[in-house]
Amino acid sequence: MTTDCSDVQTPAVLIDEPRMRHNIHRMQSQTDALGVRFRPHVKTSKCVAVAERQREAGAQGITVSTLKEAEQFFDAGFHDILYAVSLAPNKVDRALALRRRGCRLQVVVDSMVAAQSLAGATQHDRQHPDVLLEVDVDQHRGGIDADSPQLLEIARFLHTQGLAPHGVMAHAGSSYACSTPADLQRVAEQERAQSVHAAQRLRSDGMPCPVVSVGSTPTALSANHLEGVTEVRAGVYVFFDLVMAGVGVCAVDDVALSVLTTVIGHQRERGWVIVDAGWMALSRDRGTQSQAADHGYGLVCTHGGAVIDGLVLSGANQEHGIVSCRNGALPAEDFATRFPIGSRLRVLPNHACATAAQHERYHVVQEGHVMATWPRFGGW
Amino acid sequence: MTTDCSDVQTPAVLIDEPRMRHNIHRMQSQTDALGVRFRPHVKTSKCVAVAERQREAGAQGITVSTLKEAEQFFDAGFHDILYAVSLAPNKVDRALALRRRGCRLQVVVDSMVAAQSLAGATQHDRQHPDVLLEVDVDQHRGGIDADSPQLLEIARFLHTQGLAPHGVMAHAGSSYACSTPADLQRVAEQERAQSVHAAQRLRSDGMPCPVVSVGSTPTALSANHLEGVTEVRAGVYVFFDLVMAGVGVCAVDDVALSVLTTVIGHQRERGWVIVDAGWMALSRDRGTQSQAADHGYGLVCTHGGAVIDGLVLSGANQEHGIVSCRNGALPAEDFATRFPIGSRLRVLPNHACATAAQHERYHVVQEGHVMATWPRFGGW
């Protein structure tokens, strides 16, 4: 049974199902063509139903950003899980508990201290997780330099402890700052080459290192080849967002996530439409602020999802959004008749991961009808 | 029974109980001295235990930003509730349902359309909510100009429908952009004077208008007198945050909300400490960006809560935070020994409302011990 979108209480977050399906198949086709496994990052959706669709399309395993995600998805039948954040000593027990329950959990370390803490915790335990070493390919956040002596030191230490590195992983987060195909291809090649180089150093040193895992949505969609890589990870591609459109790896019309909102007022002299979606519904993410096109808190669309030229969510309080027109494309004096109180709009977000995180469920829509509501979870 | 703070899984949000208590009593004393009722805005905490402490200190009624807050707090024994967002036509039924259950719900309108929709819905219903007219005192978002003909038109219309305005309300949101006592006092006086003026216009027109409700944390703490005002509303004061410290209405040491985090890595050459609190734990709020002191995603403190001079959360990914020193106050080469992997830090947030909203529960701490965990809710 479907319901009309007009019955949904606002604000609410919608998934445009045909767009999501298209995005899932696009990434799967891309990684298939590159000859690598695809392991989606479920931190974007935190939703079992979304991950099931990624798996049905051909994804193998999932990537998570928290142990809560690992636990929730394991309970939902996902057994091959990469926890892609350097494992803190205080999280080792929780990770091992998952492994003991039969989860094929892979963990990441990028320091001797983390390696030692993991080795200490697993020395009397036959069920230890597979370990990947994080490689720093772009000085973006964590990881070990592919050429550093530390890489081999940590790998050898793990090897002596019976925790031989299962592989290397890298995330070229700097790709989010790109805006041209040439830059994207350069960062993708850098991510690939340095990861493969790190793996080869380990292999030359006598360690098997079967896995070379790389990825971000921009690099996954920009790589010309992935020689030496075994798997790709990406998350935000499943919904896309305005930041990804600014980077150039999707069109605005590919964005599958939007916030449904109701007009609650006007300030005619200022050319404002006030809506009931503020930063609580959109998040405080202003990711397009540093891009060529700054979309405020989001691009405003009709109830049906068509972008309204020039209309942006220019301001956001907790439960109030201010819609205004940035280029004079629309006469502000018509706003009250064109967007009357009680009418509805959709807002495309800057950053799908951050916007989705503000909500407890998705309304899955197709041609204006709500086909399903899917729960998502938060917390750690 | 209390537990040691070290047992808390990170990231987690903490309430420093003595600081919160101090903040609650400071605001209550201030409004008592000004001779007005105080109606706290519970959108900041969304936590019954916090609101109970505000009530015990003398608060009368609560303010909410969503009907879900109204429902949750009504179920928890709060019966006098002001829903301070202009009532959308599609939310009237839900508001009336609360009223029928015995909730003394007050709603806000700032347009003829909203007034008409409310009147239409209540014409066969003896249980209608009290209506306040929102006055625009600083061109910040919604509201009707205190001098405009519309104010009287809407009030008269409501009067003919048996919905005589119960009062006026205003929120001087522009006070958040102030940074001097003189500016704060000016905005506070503007909020007071225009609200009282609007109420007097209604009274001169023969309507009783018993309530004049004003407030924001900065204006509430800066007003010299509130002649003609009957109640004050404020929310973020209960925790305070770095934005409020930048505005000048609290000290950094008054901030009662912090995010507990664990060190998970270092990038020695870049002078970075990587922690497990990213934007998911802190929110994307960069409210201090436009203030004199930009604190990145937050000020970093010791595990016990003492600010570490110069250390800020300078970058945030979803589950990674980057801590760095902005003024050379600390030698970066000491970071690995001073903040070893596995050690803990606290981060004071830019915006308490936004940071708290990223969490499902508070850990209430006093001198390093967790005295309680209090649930909070989200959603609409």
pLDDT in tens, A2-54: 778 888 999 999 999 999 999 999 999 999 999 999 999 999 999 999 999 99
The per-residue pLDDT of chain B, averaged, comes to 96
Q: Which among B117, B262, B283 has the least Cβ separation from residue A90?
A: B262
Which chain B positions have a beta carbon within 8 Å of A286's beta carbon? Answer: 284, 286
Question: Which residues from B are below 8 Å from A91, CB to CB?
Answer: 9
- Measured between CA atoms, how close is A330 to chain B, in angstroms? 20
Closest Cα in chain A to B344:
A90
Res A231 pLDDT > 80: yes
Test B340 with A113 for CB contact under 8 angstroms: yes
Of A90, A110, A276, the CB nearest to B88: A276
**Cβ pair B265:A173 closer than 8 A:** no
Read off the pLDDT of residues A190-205 as tens digits, 9 standing for 90 and up: 999 999 999 999 999 9
Give the pLDDT mean for B259-280: 96
For residues A103, A108, A112, A116, the Cα torsion angle rounded to the nearest 10 degrees is -10
Cα gap A288→A47, rounded to integer Å: 25
Q: How far is B379 from chain A (nearest CA, A)?
A: 6
Chain B environment of A93 (Cβ under 8 Å) = none
- Characterize B190-220 residue by residue with b for buried, 16 or more Cβ atoms within 10 angstroms of its Cβ, and e for exposed: bbbbbbbbbbebbeeeebebebbbbbbbbbb
Cα(A318)–Cα(A279) distance, rounded to whole angstroms? 5
Tens digits of residue pLDDT in B112-161:
999 999 999 888 777 788 999 999 999 888 999 999 999 999 999 999 99
CB contact under 8 A, A266 and B111: yes
Asked whether residue A1 carries a pLDDT value surpassing 70, the answer given is: no
Check CB contact under 8 Å for B284 and A86: no
Taking an 8 Å cut-off on Cβ atoms, the answer to whether A284 and B283 are in contact is: yes
Are B173 and A317 in contact (CB < 8 Å)?
A: yes
Residues A165, A131: contact at Cβ < 8 Å? yes
Task: Give me Rg for the CA atoms of chain B.
Answer: 22
Q: What distance in Å separates residue B55's CA from the closest CA in chain A?
A: 23
The Cα of A59 is separated from the nearest Cα of chain B by a number of Å equal to 22
**3-class SS of residue B298:** coil
Disruptive mutation site among B66, B134, B280, B339 for chain A (greatest number of A CBs within 10 Å): B280
User: Residue B10's closest chain A neighbor by CA?
Assistant: A380
Instruction: For residue B276, give both structure tokens.
Output: 């497990």
Residue of B114, B142, B274 with shortest CB distance to A142: B274
Report the 3 state secondary structure along chain A.
CCEEHHHCCCCEEEEEHHHHHHHHHHHHHHHHHHCCEEEEECCCCCCHHHHHHHHHCCCCCEEECCHHHHHHHHHCCCCEEEEEEECCHHHHHHHHHHHHCCCEEEEEECCHHHHHHHHHHHCCCCCCCEEEEEEECCCCCCCEECCCHHHHHHHHHHHHCCCCCCEEECCCHHHHHCCCHHHHHHHHHHHHHHHHHHHHHHHHCCCCCCEEEECCHHHHCCCCCCCCCCEEEECHHHCCCHHHHHHCCCCHHHCCEEEEEEEEEEEHHHCEEEECCCHHHHCCCCHHHHCCCCCECCEEEECCCCEEEEEEEEEECCCCEEEEECCCCCCHHHHHHHCCCCCEEEEECCCHHHHHCCCCEEEEEECCEEEEEEECCCCC
Pairwise CB contact (< 8 Å): B9 & A90:
yes
Model confidence at B303: pLDDT above 80: yes
Q: Do A284 and B9 touch (CB under 8 A)?
A: no
Q: How far is B200 from chain A (nearest CA, A)?
A: 23
Among the partner-chain residues A139, A272, A342, the one whose CB lies closest to the CB of B88 is: A342
Q: Tell me which DSSP letter residue B319 carries.
A: S
Residue of B267, B282, B290, B313 to mutate, interface with A, max A Cβ within 10 Å: B267
Question: For residues A306 and A300, what is the distance between their CA atoms, to the nearest angstrom?
Answer: 8
Q: Which residues of chain B neighbour A7 with C-beta distances below 8 Å?
A: none
Element (H, E) at B214: strand B211-214
Which residues lie closer than 8 Å to A152 by C-beta, 6 or more apart? A201, A202, A205
Res A128: pLDDT: 84
- What was the pLDDT predicted at B157? 97
Verify whether the Cβ–Cβ distance A262 to B88 is below 8 Å: yes
Residue of B317, B322, B339, B344 to mutate, interface with A, max A Cβ within 10 Å = B317
Q: Flag whether pLDDT at A349 surpasses 80.
A: yes
Give the closest-approach CA distance of B340 to chain A in angstroms: 9
d(CA B114, CA B124): 17
CA distance B92 to chain A (A): 11
Sort out which chain B residues have CB atoms less than 8 A from A88's CB and list them.
10, 262-264, 276, 341-342
Contact between B214 and B226 under an 8 Å Cβ cutoff? The reply is yes
The whole-angstrom separation of Cα B271 and Cα B314 is: 11
Q: pTM for the complete prediction?
A: 0.97
- Interface contact B319-A43, CB threshold 8 A: yes
Residues of chain B contacting residue A114, judged by C-beta atoms under 8 Å apart: 264-265, 341
pLDDT value at residue B289: 96
Q: Which amino acid would we find at residue B66?
A: T
CA distance A187 to A199: 18
The mean pLDDT of chain A is 96
pLDDT confidence tier of residue A58, bands split at 50, 70 and 90: very high
The pLDDT tens digits of the residues spanning A248-291 come to 999 999 999 999 999 999 998 899 999 999 999 999 999 999 99
Q: Test B341 with A315 for CB contact under 8 angstroms.
A: no
The backbone torsions φ and ψ at residue B232, rounded to the nearest 5 degrees and listed phi first, read: -120, 140
Q: Which 3 state secondary structure label does DSSP give B235? A: coil
Which of chain B's residues have a Cβ under 8 Å away from the Cβ of A110?
265
Interface contact B357-A354, CB threshold 8 A: no
Of A111, A318, A354, the CB nearest to B284: A354
Look at residue B375 and give its three-state secondary structure: strand
Question: Considering only alpha carbons, which residue of chain B is nearest residue A171?
Answer: B317
Nearest Cα of chain A lies from the Cα of B319 at a distance, in angstroms, of 7
DSSP for B4-63, please give it: EGGGS-SSEEEEEHHHHHHHHHHHHHHHHHHT-EEEEBTTTT--HHHHHHHHHTT--SEE
Find, among A132, A108, A103, A137, the residue nearest to A230 by Cα.
Answer: A132
8 Å CB contact between A147 and A159: no
pLDDT-based confidence at residue B295 (cuts at 50, 70, 90)? very high
pLDDT of residue B57: 98
Per-residue pLDDT, B1: 59
Locus of tokens 């990804």: A244
